[in-house]
Amino acid sequence: MVSNTIGLLQLPSITLLTPKTLDEAVSLMVENPDAPIIAGGVYIISSIIDRRIRPSKLIDISKLDALRKLEKSGDLVRAGPIIKHWELAERFAPVSRAFKDFGDSYTSPSIANLATLGGSIALRHSSEDLILIMLVHDAVLKLRTASSVREVSLESYLREDSGRHIIEEIAFLNPSKVFSSFQKIALGVSYTPLVSAAVSLGRGDGGGLLCRVATSHCRGGVPGRVRAAEEAVEDGGLDHDNLELVGKTVEKEIDPVDDLTAPAWYRRRVAGVLVRRMLDQLRRALPR
């Protein structure tokens, strides 16, 4: 047993519930409505230490092999929620600019070795770079509740209250088949993102442009897609003048939070610049 040498910074008493199956995890979730679900633990443990949350129980899903998959399935990749950030960066960086940018600009590589895909998504927060990358890869979540299993787009998930659930799977477009990019402006020391954005480009069956645009602070501190900017690209193309318009559209459409780290106007302007710049770079890589 550990002596109390670290004093106040020691975690308060907690009961760790360790289900052996997904069904058991769901049962525990129902029986313990206030118990957070813990996978990587980065957010939950730091929140307990910071006294932002005071749970008496945690439901640990980190040992559930059913949630650990990372496999290609046609044009999609199906990932379990407990896949770690480093696994995604390492697997897809060689074939995807967005995933390479994600790994290269990661706040702290030692955190990437703990943090999970599902944990990031469940946070629904602007600090989670992966949410943007998943948004521009058309991610769809499979949610398990006490009474059902349902699929919901990540875009909808970020807008709705999904009730008590476990994310069972994240399906997204195979990064090797999408032209995508991710960039962020971050605080120098901590790499805490002030503004970040992701874009993807592709061609539809008829040869028309398909575009996705996502920013970290679409609504307050919640990431989301910028549909008007996507439509501006798909309708107007990728020439210089239109990309200027797309950047302005992003500025106009998003409604970022105004806080101590950056004012809202700054976030709007930078988001527009990042989107315009990434689209300009991707334009050259896109097959005609």
Partner 1 sequence: MKSISLRVNGRLYNIEVRDNDRLLEVLRDVLGFKSVKMGCGVGDCGLCIVLMDGRPVNSCLVLAARSDGSEILTVEGLGGEKELHPLQQAFIDVGASQCGYCIPAALLVSYSLQVGKRNPSSEEVRRALRSVLCRCGSYLRFEEALKVAGRDERGDSEKV
CB 41 to partner 1: min, Å: 5
As a 3-state breakdown, the chain gives helix, strand, coil percent values, each rounded to 5, of 40, 25, 35
For residues 18 and 145, which CB has a smaller minimum distance to partner 1 in the complex? 18
For residues 35 and 233, which CB has a smaller minimum distance to partner 1 in the complex? 35
For residues 31 and 75, which CB has a smaller minimum distance to partner 1 in the complex? 31
CB 33 to partner 1: min, Å: 19
Assess contact for 89 and 76: CB atoms under 8 A.
no
For residues 49 and 210, which CB has a smaller minimum distance to partner 1 in the complex? 49
For residues 118 and 256, which CB has a smaller minimum distance to partner 1 in the complex? 118
CB 161 to partner 1: min, Å: 27
Strand order in the sheet with 57-60: 15-17, 57-60, 37-38
Sign of CA dihedral 146, 147, 149, 153: negative
User: HSE of 260 in the Cβ direction (CA atoms, 13 Å)?
Assistant: 1
Side chain identity at 14, as an amino acid letter?
Answer: I
List of residues contacting partner 1 (CB under 8 A): 1-3, 5-6, 9-16, 18, 41-42, 45-46, 49-50, 58, 60, 62, 86, 104, 106-111, 113-114, 189-191
CB 184 to partner 1: min, Å: 14
Give the contacts of 199 (CB within 8 A, at least 6 positions apart). 136, 180, 181, 211, 212, 213, 214, 275, 278, 279, 282
Strand partners, 255: 219
CB 56 to partner 1: min, Å: 10
222/226 Cα distance (integer angstroms): 12
CB 9 to partner 1: min, Å: 4
Strand partners, 17: 59
For residues 54 and 150, which CB has a smaller minimum distance to partner 1 in the complex? 54
